[in-house]
Amino acid sequence: MITGAASGIGRACLSKFTEEGARVVASDIDREALDELSAEWATSGIAGSAVRGDVAERGDAERMVAHAVEHFGQLDVLVNSAGITPRTVDPTADFETRWEAVLRVNAKGTLLMSHAAVEAMRQTSGGAIVNIASIVSMVGYPTALPFSDGFNGYISSKGTVIQMTRDMGVRLAAEGIRVNAVCPGFVYTKLTENVTSDPAVHETMRNLHPLGRMAEAAEIANVVAFLASDEASFVVAAAWPVDGGYTAQ
């Protein structure tokens, strides 16, 4: 099951998992995008199901996980990819409102989806949860970028995701449930379109990575798929930078 599956990293993860032959459940709040996805599956023969819901509503989170179990008998993998930034919140709102809105989706949504998924995984033989965090869960925004005034809720939310990953990973490992996180560098997605449209900002973002470029969403999805697979059977409670060297500087 992949949240935020209609676009960005979530959509790339969806493509990667289907390429690997997985039976997938796509979750998103965008009903129109999910309908388009279902139509694509109908013509391609992919074993998938789409379910709309708000990850930050406990009833929705539990219903979406139940949907996955009802359709495929069990839930083996959850990818928590649903997320927003302050740039996607009402720009007229004050800093506290924007902070709470971002924490609600990115942190609370990860919490509720994980809680519901763990209950389902306990009924079978365990599973894997992969949380999408960020490089800014590990470092602050550089002063060269105009993204934060020191009160950016995105950093707070992704830092929370890392600590949840560590605590869940340590506590759930004995039950056969592996929890890890991926920390992407700057990635070309809908969430970065409005900043990469500025040539100067775009160049700065590229140059902050030792590779000299930003990531494609598929590059993040490749690592997510690895962490969800049995090939990562001894990887637990880890935060994996997938950032072109950004955080090693």
Residue 142 domain flag:
yes
pTM of the prediction?
0.96
Q: Tell me the pLDDT tens digit for each residue of 96-151.
A: 999 999 999 999 999 999 999 999 999 998 999 999 999 999 999 999 998 899 99
* Domain interval for residue 29: 2-185+216-242
pLDDT at 167: 98
Q: 91 pLDDT exceeds 90? A: no
CB 114 within 8 A of CB 60: no
Q: Provide the number of structural domains found in the chain.
A: 1
Residue 85 backbone phi and psi in degrees, to 5: -125, 165
Question: Region 54-67: what's the mean pLDDT?
Answer: 98
pLDDT at 88: 86
- 246 included as an active-site residue: no
> How many Cα atoms are found within 13 Å in the side-chain-facing hemisphere of 162?
20
Q: Tell me the pLDDT tens digit for each residue of 151-176.
A: 999 999 999 999 999 999 999 999 99
Catalytic pick among 141, 154, 188, 246 = 154
Tell me the H-state helices in 126-242. Answer: 153-172, 190-196, 199-207, 217-228
Residue 195 domain flag:
no
Q: Read off the CATH number of the domain in which 66 is found.
A: 3.40.50.720
Q: Considering the chain, what percentage of its residues have pLDDT values greater than 90?
A: 91
Q: Tell me the pLDDT tens digit for each residue of 27-60.
A: 999 999 999 999 999 888 888 999 999 999 999 9
pLDDT at 47: 84
Residue 205 domain flag:
no
CB 37 within 8 A of CB 5: yes
Residue 203 domain flag:
no
Residue 206 domain flag:
no
3-class SS at 41?
helix
Give the number of other Cβ atoms within 10 Å of residue 213's Cβ.
14
Residue 210 domain flag:
no
Our measurement of the distance from residue 44's CA atom to the centroid of its chain's CA atoms, rounded to an integer in Å, reads 25
Residue 79 domain flag:
yes
pLDDT at 194: 82
More confident residue, 180 or 92: 180
Residue 180 domain flag:
yes
